[in-house]
Each structure stands twice: as C-alpha cells, then as structure tokens.
Chains A and B, each alone.
Chain A
Amino acid sequence: MIEFREVTFAYPGARPVFDRFNWLIARGEAWAVIGASGNGKTTLLMLLAGLRQPTAGQIIIDDQIIDRPRPQTGLVLQDYGLLPWATVAQNAALGLRVRNYYGPDGRHAPVEHVIGPIDQRVDPWLRRLGIDHVRDRFPSQISGGQRQRAAIARTLVLEPDLLLMDEPFAALDAPTREDLQNLTIELQREQDLTLIVVTHNIEDAVFLGKKILVLGQPPHTTPLIIDNPSAGDPDYRSQPTFFEQCAHLRSALTRHSSAHNGPTSLITSHA
C-alpha cells in the first residue's frame, strides 16, 4: 500500500507543485500518471522514489515513511540512465554490485539481501528480456528499445515490489513501443509488481494504467482518477472501447487543465 498523506512539495522559491495532496495506491495495481510537461509528473515519481522529500506531509509505502530511496523500489527513467562505460550485462548487474558493496544493511540493500554470484541472477533476466545477445555491447552500440530493456532488466534483477517508470517509451518507434508496453504488463503481472508509469502520451496511459491519475495545472490538491479496467489486454488497442477511453481521457485532461486556465501539450500517437 502506498499513501500520499497531505503531501506538499515546492521547489525553492516557487509555488507548490503539490498542496496537501492525498493519494492511495493498492499493492499490485497498474497506474498511469498523465499530464502535460511541467505539470509535476516527474516530481511525483521522484517523491515516490525517495529522491525528493515532501516539504510537508508524508509518503508512506508499506508502513514506512519514505525519506530516501527504498531498496524495493525500481526506477526506470526516460533516458534509461545506463552507465555509458559499462556493457549491457554490467549495467544490468549494477544494482546487485551496489548492494554487495554495502552488504545487507537495510538502507542501501534489503536486510534479506544475500551476497552471491551476480551472473546467476543477471543472466536469466537478460534472456527473459531478449538482450542476452547484446550483453557485451555498450549502450551506445544498441538500439533504443534494447537500452530500455537493459534498464528494465537492471531494475528487475533487484526483485522490486514497486516499479516506477518515467516516460519509458517516449523515444521509441511504434512497434518497439507496443512490444515494450506488452512486456511491461506481462512482467507486472508475472512479478506482482505495483506499476506507476508517468507519461504525456494518452495511448500509453490508456493501455497501461488500470487507473489513471490526471495531473492538470499545479498546484495539485485533489487527485483526478479515471478507472480503466480493460488496460493491459494486448487486444485492447484495437477495440472501440480503447479509442473511447482515449477520447474520454483527452476531454478530462482538457477540462482539468482549462479549469486551472493552463495550457496543455499532450501527445496522441497512432501506432
């Protein structure tokens, strides 16, 4: 269970992005967070990841107040965050190496972390994500889709229970995007992950999020949530309900943004 309890967050010298914001996420749910650029989507993810702290209020994950990155939370960023000097296999192993470096201290690595051979834990994920054949290549030598797979592998190697993704498919071509969306949903179900995907793409949000949090113009006070129960079904993209839901989300976004008299810049892609 994740709870935003009266969370306020403001960058120094700026108006609050979140103002006494409350939000509840149940374990194993798949969420999409949508909003125009600059509306606080990434800030929300950074708060969840423990990389930024609320100015007031609390973020609680499984009864634990988040004031630093939590070992069981995985984060995949828009630009993949891979080390350019490390190969795909080395990048995928990075989290484990960091954990082995500190040992099971409960802060940097879970107390139940067992220091052991890294390859045995990394290799199955490289195979599962179909990037085993590029394991010795550097990020600059592989495609955007493969880089994103490497970033996902690096996160899943650490067996997270919460996966946060920031615009994970933004830089990908349409077939790769769909392929990775399907894979993300598959993995979310297989690993029983709580998934929160931040996007500014309406189709991404409707396909991935069983619940969609709409962020209009900040400051955000009350969450606007759209239920989307059919999300995640590979055939959903070609069904009329998908397009209806996209239209519904679009109008909700427009309403929510114009209610704050703010501009919107959202993308609709026809993959």
Chain B
Amino acid sequence: MRKRDVLFASIIALIIWQIIAMLVQRDILPTPIKVAEAMATNFGDIARHFVASALRVIISIIIAVMLAVPAGLGMGQMPRLNRMFSPLVYIIYPIPKIVFLPIILLFFGATDVSKILTIVLILFFQILVPVRDDAASLRPELLNSVKSLGAGRRALFRFVYLPASLPAVLTSLRLSVGTAVAVLYITETTATLLGLGYYIFYTYATLFDYAATYAGAVAMGVLGLLLYFFIDWLERRLCGWKFAT
C-alpha cells in the first residue's frame, strides 16, 4: 500500500466522521476536531498508556515467534513429531483463546504476564500452523540439492527451513496483528491501571469523557496500524523474492 493512498483514505474517513458527528450532534459522537483537541490535552497520559500497550504486544509477538517458529519447523520436518502433536493442535487451534483469560488471571494474577500470555497463546497457533505446513511442503529436490552441498540437519535448518518459513511467519503475523490488538484491549480492561485498554474503559465508564475515549481508541488504532506497517515493511525487506517480477 502506498503512503499517499493511506493518507488519502485517512482524510476521507475523517471527513465522513466529521459530517456524521455534525449531523448526529450528540456527546457520544464527538467530532474529529474535538477528539484531536482531547488528544492534545491528554497527550502525556495517552503516550504513557500507548507505550505500555505497545510493549505488551511487541513482547508477545517476539515470544510467540520464538516459540512457534522452532515448533512449527520441527513438526514440519519431523513427521513423527507432527503425528504426535498435530491432534493437540487440531483441538486447540479453533478455540477462541480469549476464553482462557480468566484462568490465566487466576494463575498469574493482575500482572503483565497474564496479558502477554493471552496474546502469545493466540499468536502461537496462528504462526505454528502455517510454518509447519510450509516446512512440510518443501520439495525434496530442493532439500536433496542442498544436502549434496554438504548440509546436515543444522545447516538445512539455517539455510533452508528458516528462510523458507519467513514468509509464513510474517504473513500470519500481519493477519493476526489486528486480533492481537483486540485481545490486548480486552486484557487491559481488567486488573490494570496502565495501557490504552484501561484508558479507553476508564474515560468512558468513569469520567464520561467521550472525546478522551475516542482519542484512546484512535491511539489503539494507530498502534495496530503501525505494527501492521512494520510487519509489511519487514516482509518486503526480508522476503523481497516474493515481490520480485
């Protein structure tokens, strides 16, 4: 997506929002200008919550990638391991992991660990399955030709399986970053005083400061968008061959 197109789409969305807000004329739908004012007034506060939320989601992504990629590659290249764990993945994969949040809270309490763990749980399966499938579908001819150059299991992992799995990792991350931010919001509405989820919920349910609520929601949207752009950029940089014509 070109930057100019994104800017153009944002301006159109803001204009539509402004028009609807002017037509509706209610406190619960402030105009973008009022929201911008609220954002400027509470900038320090929103930035603090933004950083907390961003750190949680970034740490979750890193942990999920570090766990899911080796597990996916292992299952993809070792049929016995795959046979052992696939039924388990098959059962757990479709369960909406957010339902585990209360259980995780019971075990880990109102800490960052429980929030990060919930997001990791969701991302882990989103990455594991495509990485496993990609590793399993590598053509034997490709593996044989690299083996003939002297590669053993370790070198195959480093020079074939790992780079081959990168597109699957980045595509699944790009697709699931929205879910990760949504889950982040839910985890932050309970048992915390820090994070955009808390800020949105607090300004809405306690302060009735709807402009600030919208400012928080916009900040959360920006967080999701930035992560999306970053992964998109990484994908173009690291998987240039996919876009080569």
A101 near B149: Cβ-Cβ < 8 Å: no
B150 with A79: CB separation less than 8 A: no
Contacts of B141 in A (CB 8 A): 77-79, 81
5 extra interface residue pairs, beta carbon distance < 8 Å, beyond A81-B144, A85-B239: A51-B148, A69-B149, A83-B142, A85-B242, A101-B158
30 contacts between A and B (CB under 8 A): A49-B148, A71-B150, A73-B148, A74-B148, A79-B139, A79-B141, A80-B145, A81-B145, A81-B146, A82-B145, A83-B163, A84-B241, A85-B163, A85-B241, A85-B242, A86-B163, A95-B149, A98-B150, A101-B158, A102-B150, A107-B150, A108-B152, A109-B150, A138-B240, A138-B244, A140-B241, A141-B244, A155-B149, A158-B149, A158-B150
- Given the complex of chains A and B, what is the CA–CA distance between A4 and B161 in angstroms? 34
In the complex, chain A residues 147-202 whose Cβ is within 8 Å of any chain B Cβ: 151, 154-155, 158
A99 lies within 8 A of chain B by Cβ: yes
Interface residues of A in 44-98 (CB under 8 A from B): 46, 49, 51, 69, 71, 73-86, 94-95, 97-98
Q: Closest 7 A-B residue pairs measured CB to CB?
A: A81-B145, A75-B148, A95-B149, A108-B150, A138-B241, A85-B241, A138-B244
CB distance from B149 to the nearest CB of A (A): 4
B147 lies within 8 A of A51 (CB): yes
| Chain B residues near A140 (CB-CB < 8 A) | 241, 244
Residues of A within 8 A of B139 (CB): 79
Distance A107 CA – B149 CA, assembled complex (angstroms): 11
CB-defined contacts of A255 to chain B, threshold 8 Å: none
Q: Which positions in A face B, CB cutoff 8 Å?
A: 46, 49, 51, 69, 71, 73-86, 94-95, 97-99, 101-102, 107-109, 137-138, 140-141, 151, 154-155, 158
A69's contact among B150, B158, B160, B239, by CB below 8 Å, is which?
Answer: B150
**What band does the interface of chain B fall in when counting residues whose beta carbon is under 8 Å from A?**
20 to 34
B208 interfacial contact with A, CB 8 Å: no
Shortest CB-to-CB span from A197 to chain B, Å, is 15
Q: Give every chain B residue within 8 A of A77 (Cβ-Cβ).
A: 141, 144-145
Which residues of B are interface residues toward A (Cβ below 8 A)?
Answer: 139, 141-142, 144-152, 154-155, 158-160, 163-164, 166, 239-242, 244-245
Q: Please give the distance in Å from A228's CB to the nearest CB on chain B.
A: 27
Q: How far is the CA of A46 from the CA of B160 in the complex (A)?
A: 20
Given A75-B144, A83-B142, A154–B149 Cβ distance below 8 Å? yes
Given contacts A83-B160, A158-B149, contact A101 B155 (CB under 8 A): yes
A76 partner residues in chain B, CB cutoff 8 A: 145
Kindly report which residue of chain A lies nearest to residue B158, judged by CB atoms: A101
B164 contacts which of A75, A85, A98, A141 (Cβ < 8 Å)?
Answer: A85
Q: Please tell me if the beta carbons of A95 and B150 are within 8 angstroms of each other in the complex.
A: yes
Q: Give the shortest distance, in Å, between A63 (CB) and chain B (any CB).
A: 20
Q: Nearest Cβ distance between residue A148 and chain B, in whole angstroms?
A: 12
List B contacts of A86 (CB < 8 A): 163, 241
Do residues B145 and A75 form an inter-chain contact, with CB atoms below 8 A?
yes
The answer to whether A69 and B147 have CB atoms under 8 Å apart is yes
Chain B residues, Cβ within 8 Å of A46: 144
Contact B144 A98 (CB under 8 A): no
